[in-house]
Amino acid sequence: MIPLEYYLALSSAAFGIGAYGVLVCRNAIRVLMCLELMMNAANINLVAFSRYLGDAAGQIFVTFSIAIAAAEAAVGLAIILLIYRLYGTVEIGELKNLRW
């Protein structure tokens, strides 16, 4: 088996890309996509540790994490649609009402 560090390096790279996207992107839908990327990176970590430690509990955590990610995507997109209906845009730079 290849060393565990490879998986950890890949998942941290994916997490870094996702974090960059969350910080930089203007479109709220794209920000949500980058959030999903970060969640996937965390899942890779959990599964890799569960494989390399010989403990399948990590896979159960990932099952829960996927369920929560699905719920988060549904509610997040509903909120984005509501924002679009109210303001006519999904650019997060335009949404200044809650800034104070």
Partner 1 sequence: MESKDSEEAEKVSLELIAFLAIALIIIAASILVIKAREIVHSALFLALTFVGVAALFIMLEAEFLAAIQVLIYAGAVVVLMLFAIMLTRREKGLDYLGTKITLFKGAASLVFLAVILGIILAGRWYPARGIGEGSTQFIGKQLFSYYILHFELIAILLLAAIIGAIYLARREVK
For residue 92, give the DSSP letter.
G
Q: How far is the CB of 83 from partner 1 (least distance, A)?
A: 9
| The two three-digit tokens of residue 1, written as one number | 């088996």
For residue 97, give the DSSP letter.
T
Bridge partners for 84 per DSSP: none
Burial label for 88, CB within 10 Å (0-12, 13-18, 19+), is exposed
Q: How far is the CB of 100 from partner 1 (least distance, A)?
A: 20
Cβ atoms of 69 and 36 within 8 Å: the answer is yes
